Structure 1
Amino acid sequence: MTLSSQRILLVIGGGIAAYKCLDLIRRLRERGASVVPVMTKAAAEFVTPLSVGALAASRVYSGLFEREDEQDVGHIRLARECDLVIVAPASADRMAAMAAGRADDLAGAVLLATRAPILLAPAMNPAMWDHPATRRNLDRLKSDGVSFVGPGTGEMAESGEAGTGRMAEPLEIVAAALERLAPPAGPLSGRRILVTSGPTHEPIDPVRYIANRSSGRQGHAVAQALARLGAEVTLVSGPVAIPDPAGVTTIRVETARQMLAAVERALPADAGVFVAAVADWRAAEENPVKMKKDGSEPPPLPLALNPDILAHVGKGRERPRLVIGFAAETNDLLANALSKLDRKGADMIVANDVSGSVMGGEENTVRLVTRQGIEEWPTLSKTAVAERLARRIADWFAKDSA
C-alpha cells in the first residue's frame, strides 16, 4: 500500500526524538506522500529547519504571525490543505495544549483548525507518560477522535531511565498513517469485535488490591491483529503498562465490575474475545482507610465473587454470534477448558498453561478447544498467537456466511 497523492502535514515537536522525523519524512515520501513540515520553536533546538526542508522538499513553517502567510490566513490554509496531520514527537505539553484547545503557536492553531484526521506519536519521560494529568489528556484526545501510535517501552535517550515513553519508530508511524488514511478492506471489514485484556485490580483499601500477573500483551495483540484484518475493534483493558493498539478504540477500567459495565456498553458486537484475566474475587467491603497491623494476626478479609463476564455475555441476550474465551490454567488444562465451553456459553476456548512464565512473558503455548476437537498450536510469540487466532475468526465468519 502506498501514500500516493496523500498530503501530510508533519508537526515536529520539541524533544530528543525529533531527530527521528528526518527518517520519517524520507519514509513517507518513499511511499508517495507529500510532506509539509511545521516546526515548533523547541523542535529547532534538536533538528534544523534546513535539514527538514531539504528532506521534505518543502518550505518549513514555524511562525504563527509570518506576514507572507497570514495575508491569506496561512494557518487555516495549512490546516485545510492536508489529508492527515502527524504530530511527532508529541510532548506532554503538546498533548495538554491540544486537550485544552489552546492555539498559542502555529502548531496549535493548525491542530485546532484542521478537519483532517490527526495522528500523535507521543514521546516523553516515563514518569510524565504515567502521570494522571497525561492519562486524562490522552483519554480526552481519544474521545475527540485523535489517533495514537506508541509510545514504546525501552531506555530513554536523554535520561537513561527505562519505561514507556519512547517515540514509535518511523516505520511504525508510517503503518499507523496508512491505517488512518486507508483502513484495509480485510476479511473482517464491517465486523464489530469486542476484546477484553489485562488484569483487574480489586481494591482492599486505598493502597492495596487483589490482582494477578497478566501484562495484557496477549489481549492487546489480539485486538491489533483483528484491526489489521479490517475489524472495528473495541478493547476493554484493565490496568496495563503497554501502549494502546493503533486503530483500536480502547476503554480503560480497573475492576471486574467496571469491565463488565464497559463490555455491556460495547455490545452488540459480531464477536467477543475475552482474553482478560479477571480476578475471581474481590474484597466484600473496601476499607475506606489503610488497614493497619494490629498485633500479630492479620485482619480478616471476607471475599465476594466477581461477575463472570464470559458467562454473562455467552449466555446473555446480546450474545455475539461468535464468543471466544481464554482459559489460563495451572493444572487439568484440557478438562477445565472443555468444561468452560458449555458452562460459559463459548464457541471456542483458547487454553494456555500459565504454570510457567507465560503471564508477563513474550511467548505463549496454547490449544484451541472447540466442540469439534482440540488443535495443538506450537509455542509462538503472543503476536503470532494473536494473528493465528484472528485468521481463525475470519475463517469462521467466512464459513458462517457461506
Structure 2
Amino acid sequence: MLLIRRSTSIISKIRPSFTLYHFHTLQSKTPTNPTSFPGHQAPKNSNFDQPIVNQATVLETLTCYNNDWKRAIDFFNWVESEYGFKHTIDTYNHMIDILGKFFEFELAHQLFDKMPERDHATIRVMFKRYASAHLVHEAIGVFEKLGEVGMNDETSFLNLVDALCEYKHVIEAEALCLGSEKEKILGFEIGTKVYNMILRGWLKMGWWGKCREFWEQMDEDGIAKDLYSYSIYMDIQCKSGKPWKAVKLYKEMKKKGIKLDVVAYNTVMRAVGVSEGVDVAVHLGREMLELGCEPNVVTYNTIIKLLCENGRVREAYKVLDKMWKRGCAPNVITYHCIFRCLDKPNEILALLDRMIESGVSPSMDTYVLLIKKFGRWGFLRPVFIVWGKMEDHGLSPNEFAYNALIDALVDKGMVDMARKYDEEMLAKGLSAKLRPELVKGECDDG
C-alpha cells in the first residue's frame, strides 16, 4: 500500500479544502500529475495513471480523517462524484461514525436515509454515537423510528441496550428493560443476555455495591447465570480490589461444570496474578493449554502486564517474542503494557520502531501515551519524533494529542509554538484546554 502525499502548494491552488489531504491507494502507482488531484477534471484521453479506488482505499482514507469530519465528508462525496465509487455499507457506516463523533447527527441521518441498504452494524453505530453524546432519549427515539425501515427488532434493541450500558447510561438501560418502560418493548425476551449487559454496565460505572445487588437480583428474578455472567462478575471482583473472590468464583464455575473459555481464563489469570503472583498466573496458563483452551492476544497481554508491573521487563520482552513464535500477533495494547514501564527515551523509540516494523500500527492512544510520557520528563526532541511518526503514518491528531503536545511546549516555556498548535486545533473544531499562559501571551501581544 502506498501513501500518497499531495503537494501542498499544488493542492492549495486547485482545491483548498484538500490542502492537508492524504489519499491511500492500493495496487496502484503514485500519481505524478496534478490532473489526478481532487477538484481537477482530467482531460479526455489522458494517459496519466489514476488511483484505483476500492472499498479498502476509501476506508483507509476515512480512517485518516477520524478527527476531521469536514475533510472526511468532503472526501466521501468527492470519491463518489469524481470516480463514480459506489459506497458500501462499510464506508457509509464509517462516515456516519465520524459524523456522530462530532455531533453532526443531521448529516448522519441524511446519509442513513441515502443508504441503498442497511444492516445492524449501521444501527449499532448510530446508537453508539448517540449514547456517547449522552443523548439517551434521542437514541431510544431512533429505535422507535426503526419500525419505518423494518429494523426495530430484537437485535436492534440489544444494540441499543449495549450502547447505553457501554457509555454509562445504565440507570436508563435498566429502567428501559426492567422498569415501567419495558411495556414499550413488549415482545422482546428480557433474559440472561440483557442482564449480562446491564451487569457489565454497572462494572463500567464502577458502582461495586450496585454490581453485587444486581448479581443477587439475577437469582431473585430467576435468571440463569452463564459463562459470561461469571466472567463479568469475576472482572468486577478484580477491579473492585477483591481478586481472591474472583478466584473463588472460578472454582465455583468448575464445580458447576461450566466450561471456561479464553475470556474467563484471562480474567482468572489477572485475578490470580494480582492476588498470588505472576508465576501462579503463568501456571494457570499452562493448565488452560492442557485443557485445550488456546490462549489469545489478551492472555499474553495479561502476562506481559503482570510482568511489567513486577519490574520483570526483560521477561516481558521474551513473552513478546514467544507470541510471534506461537502464531499470536501482538496488538497495540501489548506494546502499551511495555511502553508504560520503560524509562529510557531511546528504548521507547526503539520499541516504537519495532512495533511499526512488525506491522502493528500505533493508534492515536499510542502517540498520546508517548507524547505525555516524554512531556512529563521534559524531553521535547522525542516528543517531536513521535509527532512526526504520527503524521508520517497519515493520522490526523485528535484533541488529546494536541493538548499533550501543547502541555509539553508550555512546560518548556515555548509559548509561541504552543499558541500555534492551539490555534491549529481550534481551527479544526477540536476542544483546547484553557491555559493561562497562552491567554496572557495574547493579551500582551495586543
| TM-score normalised by L of structure 1 | 0.29
Name whichever structure is richer in strand by fraction: 1
Bigger-Rg structure (1/2): 2
Calculate the TM-score normalised by the size of structure 2. Answer: 0.27
